[in-house]
Amino acid sequence: MDGCLHCVFTWQKACSIFHTQGWKHLRRSFSTEKVIHKDHSLPNPSWSKDLRLLFDQFMKKCEDGSWKHLPSSECKVPQRIHSFKTYFLDSKPVKEDQLSQARPFTRSYEVGQGFEYAMFYNEDEKRTVCLFQGGPYLEGPPGFLHGGALATMIDTTLGVCTISCMGLFMTANLNINFKSPIPLCSVVVISSQLDKVEGRKVFVSCNVRSVDEKTLHSDATGLFIKLDPEKSLT
């Protein structure tokens, strides 16, 4: 399990470093002994009572080891740098001044204004649950969450759901049914599962429900493809 999670966080961290500081810095960063990151997936003052309650319930489920809370960053030293080298080496350079402002999309807003969420993973059941509160900067229709913001969280949750398959993945297909709008600043539960693995293809699905589970806001399927070391991404 630790190895799987390790891979996911390594991927996330490597993407962030690569996009903000380039390949040379990525190589340097991963050769250093220890990196400390803030964990954005822990309760903060912007979290509603619903989000805190659900978070506490899932933390309780973690006590017997069946579920694991996924921190927003990883502090361990990655061992799999050779994989990223394979994928990133041929990437086209992007201007430094543009990259200096880059950051992971879902963690790019001020606390409480954008994506507030925590994720939990059940390895035996190959399930990932995301507790998500969409803040005021994510408005679509007046008073409701933007569909693209929900798509982002669905993509992220389904992406995390692929972690039981070792390797580096990218979303190839995302199919979302929007069934009921989500009131802005409310909390929803995104429940995802790994359905099938066929070679490099991982099929995942999820539903998005209100906290009381009475409202089905959305359901979705996703296809993630394991990256081929023989192919450049650019």
Ligand X SMILES: CCCCCCCCCC(=O)SCCNC(=O)CCNC(=O)[C@H](O)C(C)(C)COP(=O)(O)OP(=O)(O)OC[C@H]1O[C@@H](n2cnc3c(N)ncnc32)[C@H](O)[C@@H]1OP(=O)(O)O
Please report, as ranges, the residues that interact with ligand X according to CB under 6 A: 8, 11-12, 155-156, 159-160, 170-173, 199-201, 223, 225, 227-228, 231, 233
- Measured between alpha carbons, how far is 43 from 117 in angstroms, rounded to an integer? 9
Q: Whose Cβ is closer to ligand X: residue 11's or residue 115's? A: 11
The residue with its CB nearest to ligand X is: 159
Least Å distance between CB 49 and ligand X?
Answer: 27
Q: Whose Cβ is closer to ligand X: residue 67's or residue 185's? A: 67
- Measured between alpha carbons, how far is 116 from 44 in angstroms, rounded to an integer? 9
Q: Whose Cβ is closer to ligand X: residue 62's or residue 151's? A: 151
- Measured between alpha carbons, how far is 154 from 157 in angstroms, rounded to an integer? 5
Least Å distance between CB 16 and ligand X?
Answer: 10
Q: Which two tokens stand for residue 118?
A: 């925590």
Q: Whose Cβ is closer to ligand X: residue 60's or residue 76's? A: 76
CA distances from 163 to 124, 126, 139, 149, 189 (A): 12, 9, 30, 22, 19
Q: How far is CA 161 from the centre of its chain?
A: 9
Asked if 152 and 106 count as a contact pair (C-beta separation under 8 A), the reply is yes
Q: Whose Cβ is closer to ligand X: residue 176's or residue 185's? A: 176
Could you say which of 2, 50, 155, 219 is catalytic? 155
Least Å distance between CB 160 and ligand X?
Answer: 5
Least Å distance between CB 103 and ligand X?
Answer: 14
Asked if 209 and 188 count as a contact pair (C-beta separation under 8 A), the reply is yes
Least Å distance between CB 1 and ligand X?
Answer: 15
Active site residue 219: no
Q: Name the 3-class secondary structure at 19.
A: helix
* CA atoms within a 13 Å half-sphere pointing along the CA-CB vector of 154: 25
Asked if 204 and 161 count as a contact pair (C-beta separation under 8 A), the reply is yes
- Measured between alpha carbons, how far is 47 from 162 in angstroms, rounded to an integer? 27
Q: How far is CA 97 from the centre of its chain?
A: 26
Residues with a known catalytic role: 155
